[in-house]
Amino acid sequence: MPVGTLRRIIRFVPSLLLAAGVACRGSDASERGATDADGSAGTGGTLIIVVPAEPTTLFPPLVSSTQGLAVISTIFEKLADIGSALETYGDAGFVPRLASSWQWAADSLSIAFTLDSLARWHDGAPVRAEDVRYSFRAFTSDSVGSEAKSSLGNIDSVTVRDARTVEFWFKRRMPQQFFEATYYVEILPSHLLDTIPLARVASSAFARAPVGTGAFRFSRWEAGQRIEVIADTANPRGRAKLDRVLWTIAPDFGAATIKLFSGDADFFEKVRPENLAQVASSPTLRLIKNPALQYGFLGFNLRDPSSAATAHPIFGDSLVRRALAMSVDRERLVRNVFDSLGLVALGPAPRALISDTAAFRQMPFDVRAAAALLDSAGWRDSNADGVRDKNGVPLAFDLLVPNSSQNRQRYAVLLQEQWRPLGVRVTPRVLDVNALIERIESHRFDAYMGGWQTTPGLRGAQQTWASAGSSNYGRYESPAFDALLDSALTTFDGAASRQYWARTFQQIIDDAPAIWLYEEQTPIALHRRFLVPPLRADGWYYGLATWRVDPAQRIARDGIGVGSPP
């Protein structure tokens, strides 16, 4: 589609959203989310979610994609769940899940959790304290390699007091101790896994057919086609309202939208701008605000892909990274790709989590200054071929892009065009999501188009950008950033915390290990028959057990039930 046509369509969409404002916020019925018209609780129904890629595993310590997190959130549970306000200091607002209660030690250096006596695994076995201890070991084991490990560094150990009591011991008092102990770790069944070496669990049958304690139990996974979970009708703490949830895998976004508009799917998370008008005018679909804590960026690899001990021949120099960042018109790119449905990212966190967005300065858009920086760093076009070079190395690199994100593909092309006049040659490489993840996790890349769904409280910045962060794929190392980040996360003084965060953001912006590009504000498309509560910003999928189908709007597949094939 020509860019001019795309702009006209996008400009038309906001007026549609305003005209259908109730649909965008969620209808009155969906916001009530309480009872059906006859006053009954109402159960039954099938939700079909279309996704452009499937997870690589359902073993929770190794799940990082949105698709995988959505699936395991229905099957597994945590000790406690964060409240709707997403408060991370202390335990205020947290809701009991597998733990029915907890007790802080007098010195606040340990928390004892008492497990719910009714909690059962889907195979009928009771949940025990040993399951919690095993789960922490799995999430922190080097042989497993979970991305969450770096977020659990303040937990010294987990001990079993008795069959239903487990105690977390901390290295030091921190504002987010309770959050750290409960948010990152789904509890795993030790009675099914403790005989398997941790290094082999990810390749075991469990990783493809997991057993949890959640309101849904795993049903089946047909590779490349669908994943299905069904309501655990025997769950002693209450069954899910829906009978089943299916994730159907489409080969690309075009196929996904066809499924959505043909009625073969009920839910699509990433509606493209050009499809918003069609959703808004659909008699069966509606748009729901998705307050996702996400940001998109271009990440540089600061080390040589072939040798971790050597700086990257291009991006090892901060002057080059700063020059590339300064030569990008981020505001223009956001408007081109998202129109009014996107914002320029301010740093490695969405602005909703930044207490003072004006307390640090952004990299200016200045192409002339960027060219001067490259000149001063020794990158000049010595052979008049249009590409700068230094010591025989051209200023050229590959940019990895996931095939599941057309927005990131557009960004890659626009960045290519913005950098060409500067004497920089960029080659976008579109890869299957799983292939891209494998490349960046093994650090075999120059640069990549990334996107993070962040955690509340900015705790995830330690995982993604600290020197020892398990998801620090670009191998950014800055003692100054690490120290500021640690201070921001550990101080109990609110004013001091805001000051530390401002300095932390300024440090990483100046170091430029990435170019902070956008915050996407794309709404979700959902079939009108579903009654849903307000979506959580840290993951729309939390609370799926409470989603219901309006009895007056049921369709054929809502009568399938739990025990019958779809």
- Going by C-alpha positions, the residue among 315, 221, 352, 306 that lies closest to residue 514 is 315
Say what the pLDDT of residue 33 is.
Answer: 35
Say what the pLDDT of residue 14 is.
Answer: 33
Longest CA pairwise span in the chain (Å) = 79
Integer CA distances (angstroms), 504 to 82, 252, 332, 349, 510, in order: 25, 38, 26, 11, 10
Determine how β-strand 396-402 pairs with β-strand 425-431.
Answer: parallel
Say what the pLDDT of residue 31 is.
Answer: 30
Q: Is 24 exposed, middle or buried (0-12, 13-18, 19+ CB in 10 A)?
A: middle
Which residues on neighbouring strands pair with residue 520, listed in sequence order?
A: 342
Residue 156: other Cβ atoms inside 10 A: 13
- Going by C-alpha positions, the residue among 330, 301, 317, 333 that lies closest to residue 473 is 301
State the Cα–Cα distance between residues 525 and 520, nearest whole angstrom: 15
Contact assessment for residue 13 and residue 276, using Cβ atoms and an 8 Å cutoff: yes
Return the H-helix or E-strand segment holding 333: helix 330-338
Contact assessment for residue 505 and residue 361, using Cβ atoms and an 8 Å cutoff: no
Nearest 10 degrees: CA dihedral of 263, 267, 269, 273? 40
At 544-558, the pLDDT tens digits run: 999 999 999 999 999
Structure tokens at 536: 């959580």
Give the mean model confidence (pLDDT) for residues 300-327: 97
State the amino acid at position 68 in one-letter form. Answer: G
**Residue 28 pLDDT level (bands cut at 50, 70, 90):** very low
Which DSSP string do the residues of 494-515 spell out, in sequence order? HHHHHHHHHHHHHHHHHH-SEE
State the Cα–Cα distance between residues 328 and 235, nearest whole angstrom: 53
State the Cα–Cα distance between residues 381 and 325, nearest whole angstrom: 20
At 360-386, the pLDDT tens digits run: 999 999 999 999 999 999 999 999 999
Angle at 32 between CA 273 and CA 455, to 5 degrees: 55
At 440-497, the pLDDT tens digits run: 999 999 999 999 988 899 988 999 999 999 899 999 999 999 999 999 999 999 899 9
- Going by C-alpha positions, the residue among 135, 183, 129 that lies closest to residue 159 is 129
Residue 487: other Cβ atoms inside 10 A: 16
State the Cα–Cα distance between residues 558 and 45, nearest whole angstrom: 4
**Residue 341 pLDDT level (bands cut at 50, 70, 90):** confident
Which residues on neighbouring strands pair with residue 300, listed in sequence order?
A: 447
pTM, whole model, 2 decimals? Answer: 0.82
Give residues with Cβ within 8 angstroms of 254, minimum separation 6: none
Say what the pLDDT of residue 116 is.
Answer: 98
Say what the pLDDT of residue 563 is.
Answer: 67
Give residues with Cβ within 8 angstroms of 474, minimum separation 6: 299, 300, 301, 302, 513, 514
Angle at 169 between CA 192 and CA 62, to 5 degrees: 40
**Residue 550 has what DSSP assignment?**
-
Structure tokens at 502: 């401002």
At 215-231, the pLDDT tens digits run: 999 999 999 999 999 99
At 91-131, the pLDDT tens digits run: 999 999 999 999 999 999 999 999 999 999 999 999 999 99
State the Cα–Cα distance between residues 297 and 330, nearest whole angstrom: 11
At 483-533, the pLDDT tens digits run: 999 999 999 998 999 999 999 999 999 999 999 999 988 789 999 999 999
Percent of the chain with pLDDT over 70: 92
**Residue 17 pLDDT level (bands cut at 50, 70, 90):** very low
Residue 481: other Cβ atoms inside 10 A: 23
Say what the pLDDT of residue 566 is.
Answer: 45
Structure tokens at 386: 């249009």
Which residue is listed with tokens 């290990």? 513
At 147-177, the pLDDT tens digits run: 899 899 999 999 999 999 999 999 999 999 9
Give residues with Cβ within 8 angstroms of 337, minimum separation 6: 273, 407, 410, 411, 414, 518
